[in-house]
Amino acid sequence: MSVDTQYDAVDAATVRKALVWFVVITAILAAGASMLVIEMGFKRHYVAIMMWTPAIGALAACRLSGIDKALLGWGWGDAKWQWLAFVIPIAYGLIAYGIIWGAGFGGAIDKRFLKEAGYHLGLVGWSPEATVAMGVMIFGLVGMIWHMATALGEEIGWRGFLTPMLLRLTNFPVAATLTGLAWLVWHMPLIYFTKYNAGPVDLHIQVLNYGVLLIGLSFIMTYLRLKSGSLWTATVIHAAHNAYILSILQPMTVQYEDTWRYANEFGVVLPAVVALFGLYFWRRARQEGLTGGIAAP
């Protein structure tokens, strides 16, 4: 079921009410969860609590506004969209880190990655090539289970609720941009007050780069949300990004003095590549007539 069909019965006044509830509830919950992460440290269990605040905000907003939570896009949809969602982060990750390694902004492959992968996976004595292959398979495929569980919490809120609601009131680029900006603001306490950054240097530049990344991702996810009618496409992209970028490609990268300016989510290269992917999917959306939003009765 497409997004426009799902939301045909939701009038504009109800959408605005639901958006207000979502922003207020998510902001309150995220503030509390952020304080927990800041005080207790950037631990995966506290981060998981943080990542589920948009879902709670979305479900509460639906309940308080009288919107059927079934409209959030729980169906898996056509599997081709899920496969595309899985492949996209691998593609832009390989392009971005290929640029980083090829241009000498960072090196490959960091010996610490080999050591840690060997230790955690019991690969002591394996060759570097075999260690990398096994590390990619385990961290990338098995790691998707954990990342899907945590990414789902965010995507129920961002792409299950917020993006379709904004599309009810406005068009594709505005909805995608606003969702990306909300996503950025939600992350900002973590960027400024935890180790979720590239180090305590030029944080304003890091935030700018990260914002470009999130808005680019939001354009990609909005397209797939519209095509599939499912929030799972965004969940798969989000999980694959965290698995392959954060758990594999970035740890594999040798850090030079200025590598932080180019690598990771806070450097310039990955956001630029993702932004180009976002522009490509916006172009596809325009060609397919998906940019006009969902007319509100």
Query: Looking at the domain assignment, is residue 297 inside a domain?
Result: no
> Considering Cα of 259, then 262, then 264, then 267, what sign does the dihedral take?
positive
pTM of structure? 0.93
Contact 197, 203 (CB under 8 A): yes
Q: Name the nearest CA neighbour of 262 among 241, 91, 254.
A: 254
Q: Please check the confidence at residue 10 and state whether its pLDDT lies above 90.
A: no
Query: Looking at the domain assignment, is residue 294 inside a domain?
Result: no
CA 272, CA 278: separation in Å to the nearest integer? 10
What local confidence, expressed as pLDDT, does residue 8 receive?
61
CA 158, CA 284: separation in Å to the nearest integer? 21
What local confidence, expressed as pLDDT, does residue 7 receive?
59
Q: Please check the confidence at residue 222 and state whether its pLDDT lies above 60.
A: yes
Mean pLDDT, rounded, for 266-295: 90
Domain extent at residue 51: 3-287
Candidate from 6-10, 18-22, 160-164 with smallest mean pLDDT = 6-10
For residue range 132-173, what is the model confidence (pLDDT) as tens digits? 899 888 888 898 999 999 999 999 999 999 999 999 999 999
Query: Looking at the domain assignment, is residue 292 inside a domain?
Result: no
Query: Looking at the domain assignment, is residue 293 inside a domain?
Result: no
For residue range 68-86, what is the model confidence (pLDDT) as tens digits? 999 999 999 999 999 999 9
DSSP string, 111-126: HHHHHHHHHHHT-TT-
Count of domains observed in the chain: 1
Query: Looking at the domain assignment, is residue 123 inside a domain?
Result: yes
Query: Looking at the domain assignment, is residue 194 inside a domain?
Result: yes
CA 215, CA 252: separation in Å to the nearest integer? 26
For residue range 166-214, what is the model confidence (pLDDT) as tens digits? 999 999 999 999 999 999 999 999 999 999 999 989 999 999 999 999 9
What local confidence, expressed as pLDDT, does residue 219 receive?
98
CA 220, CA 47: separation in Å to the nearest integer? 24
Which letter does DSSP use for residue 261 in this model? G
Residue 134: how many CB atoms within 10 A of its CB?
Answer: 16
Q: Which residues contact 87 (CB under 8 A, 6 or more apart)?
A: none
Query: Looking at the domain assignment, is residue 295 inside a domain?
Result: no
CA 18, CA 25: separation in Å to the nearest integer? 11
